[in-house]
A and B are shown apart, each in its own frame.
Chain A
């Protein structure tokens, strides 16, 4: 019996090898897409435009080669190990430099480990990328549960808190007794949760999206579930004053807008219903993933329509990421993280339980086209031990993907004092 347990929790090498018929089946489906009529506007205001998605589909069904993406992954040391009952897939690249700082980076939605491939070189081998040997990191890049080649949880409860616990166990299992963690998007929620649990060995974190709002702001956003004396906007304003952020109406509006995005509301409410669309129609999946935020949508459109990609958001990279969701059949389980997160926030607010205080060092980088331009005052409010705060001049929501060099420089600067 103990043999079975050891086997499951062992760290086993992993290689991607998708059967040909799955790849061909995808191409066939893309080619057989039944299209709706064109949108009635000349911009993205009715959602993903027909010209953009048709250009993507043409490329996907004809020139695109999944085997190249697979080769990119298989060129890296990949592993699987079972943690808390779920198989976790991860990339593990050790730096050749002694004293490299172990760094765990968590991707988000609609992303994957693909969005992080561009930073592996600069972070693990800084001397080849304009950095110094003492800036080196050893990287652990896991796939979130329900995403990519990780297993799909069969029970509820896999919100950021439980994932954070699994990541601490992963680092422990890899023998890292001193490490740091980083994340944006859902990866930011997980990384924030890790820092609150503060597992032994975690020295500090870096975030590129403010996912933790002052409790009062979060309570305001979700207030409909609980008795509260005032309206949402007023409560939000009060909360922001409490957070010292009342001078930041732009950030407050951006925050409110994020919580009203269609994909977020639908995935938070009914991930299974939209999941049928995402599993059965490649183009339906692609459009859903492209409609994340106007900035990245505009950049991706350029990649397909004008051949002018923004940073790492090239046609291949975009399609690699979408194809990964398709071939692993994980779009529904990936959407569920929003449902889990909503349930977790509601349960915490209902019980009146505040998230654990966070005293670990936190570093933060604001990328100019991110959904929310987090004001320093907000970051200081939620992270009292803010060791680094910087606003850079380019990049958006998919910071590591769009601007790998700049992102890597930020990692080096952010964690320098923790080495």
Chain B
């Protein structure tokens, strides 16, 4: 295929879907918001230390204090803001909600358009490191024919996208909105990539197989078959009929549902309740999100090994400045209303699916499960480093995976 959007196709798209204008967007946090954030951090009222010497009661006091004290003194939001503003960013209304996105076109004409969607507690900040390698591969150890045009939208209720004012913004509706976004940008043929919510949205999109979507790559695949899921929901030990590889996946999922599910239980039921503290207390927000950096990165619970403080705080500060702790939590409530869990198998009978399994992901999906619901696996690989925040933790491996994943669609 010679390029993904010819001029004539673009014109057709423009006349049929150009019902929303696309406006340039720039980040620019008011200085008083940054001053106020620092004031609140200085005024933090800390609890006493946990009564254990490990993470078993949650984020240890000493760890969070150090991070938050850095946040209130040496941390500088303007640096990441400048990085974000060096990207072409836009905002457009889709289905009644403003969608903010970065749109980076490759210099290579035949680049493949790719929609990349972040998750919770993430944002496009977790994707910053992969932008150049993916759009300009020759400068980063790749070949020109590996290039992508990137569209990186912000989920509704997150960052500088609008906050939905009515219910119903479940993964299917978001997927549909992002498909509209790709068409509106003049990409009648594209691929989709994601982890966390981004994986779920990519899978839902693929299951609907809208015209123009060529394939997807996910780094947190939903593969757990319904019969296995039933056991998991009942907190059963691994069923005997599972293979060793499947048992390993099962045990990790069981651990997640038993010891690491409180945050989701709360957001599934009462996003508004937890939302008050996330809106009012920087330390509350930092603790809530840092816990996931600790649990889900390939770091043995020490996220400082893979992320600098600045990186973690860039991610957290974006939530703080946009006051999106509650509105982003609502995506869990929406997901719960729609039914199903984050790892449930999604039937994608025909569309090509690529999967990269990172070792410290919440669970390491076995290919045998993937084959039961994905009818057309074009790529499946297990890498040796990285966790849930794959693009952020291991950008180089992540880019190699994405290139390899979509190679077969470029002939």
Q: Which residues of A are at the interface with B, using a C-beta cutoff of 8 A?
A: 29, 33-37, 39-41, 46-50, 53, 152-156, 222-228, 230-235, 260-263, 265-281, 283-288, 290-291, 329, 331-333, 336, 339
Contact = CB atoms under 8 A, between A and B. Distances in A.
B46 A33 contact: no
Contacts of A286: 276
Contacts of A235: 234
Interface in B37-59: 43-48, 50-52, 57-59
Shortest Cβ-Cβ A-B pairs, 10 listed: A224-B235, A284-B277, A47-B270, A231-B234, A270-B58, A273-B58, A277-B277, A36-B326, A47-B273, A266-B262
Contacts of A277: 274, 277-278, 281, 284, 287-288
B272 A49 contact: yes
Given A46-B271, A270-B58, A284-B284, A278 B277 contact: yes
Contacts of A234: 234
B70 interface: no
8 contacts: A36-B327, A40-B164, A48-B270, A48-B276, A232-B235, A273-B58, A278-B277, A280-B283
B306 interface: no
A266 B276 contact: no
Given A36-B326, A37-B163, A231-B234, A224 B288 contact: no
B165 A265 contact: no
Given A232-B234, A280-B283, A262 B57 contact: no
Interface in B214-256: 230-231, 233-237, 254
B166 A40 contact: yes
Highest count of chain A CB atoms <10 Å: which of B60, B230, B287: B287
B45 A268 contact: no
Highest count of chain B CB atoms <10 Å: which of A234, A269, A285, A333: A269
Given A270-B57, A271-B58, A333-B47, A284 B271 contact: no
B269 A47 contact: yes
A225 B255 CA distance: 9
B258 interface: yes
Interface residues of B, number: 64
Nearest to A280: B281
B265 interface: yes
Given A36-B279, A154-B51, A223-B235, A273 B272 contact: no
Given A36-B272, A47-B272, A280-B277, 18 more contacts: A33-B279, A37-B163, A37-B327, A228-B236, A228-B237, A262-B269, A265-B265, A269-B259, A270-B58, A272-B59, A274-B274, A275-B47, A284-B277, A287-B272, A288-B273, A288-B274, A288-B277, A331-B47
A373 B271 CA distance: 28
A34 B323 contact: yes
Main SS of chain A's interface residues? helix
B35 interface: no
Given A47-B273, A49-B272, A276-B287, A333 B326 contact: no
Contact of A48 (B265, B272, B323, B325): B272
Nearest to A231: B234
Contacts of A281: 276-277, 280-281, 284
A48 B272 CA distance: 6
Contacts of B277: 277-278, 280-281, 283-285, 287-288
A152 B325 contact: no
Given A225-B258, A281-B280, A291-B273, A266 B266 contact: yes
B33 to A, nearest CB: 10
Contact of B284 (A265, A276, A290): A276
A83 B58 CA distance: 28
Nearest to A290: B273
A276 B63 CA distance: 12
Contacts of B258: 224-225
B88 to A, nearest CB: 28
Interface string B64-85: 1000000000000000000000
Contact of A36 (B231, B234, B278): B278
A357 B386 CA distance: 51
Highest count of chain A CB atoms <10 Å: which of B57, B275, B330: B57
A276 B260 contact: no
B396 interface: no
A277 to B, nearest CB: 3
B263 interface: yes
Contact of A262 (B163, B166, B265, B291): B265
A366 B316 CA distance: 46
Contact of A268 (B60, B262, B280, B330): B262
Contact of B279 (A35, A271, A278, A290): A35
Nearest to A276: B287
A48 B269 CA distance: 11
A156 B167 CA distance: 43
B398 interface: no
Interface string B12-53: 000000000000000000000000000000011111101110
B292 to A, nearest CB: 10
Contact of B275 (A47, A226, A285, A339): A47
Contact of B280 (A153, A154, A222, A284): A284
B278 A265 contact: no
B176 to A, nearest CB: 19
A110 to B, nearest CB: 12
A227 B52 CA distance: 27
Contacts of A332: 47-48
Contact of A46 (B270, B278, B281, B283): B270
Contacts of B269: 47, 261-262
Given A272-B50, A272-B57, A276-B47, A287 B167 contact: no
Nearest to B41: A280
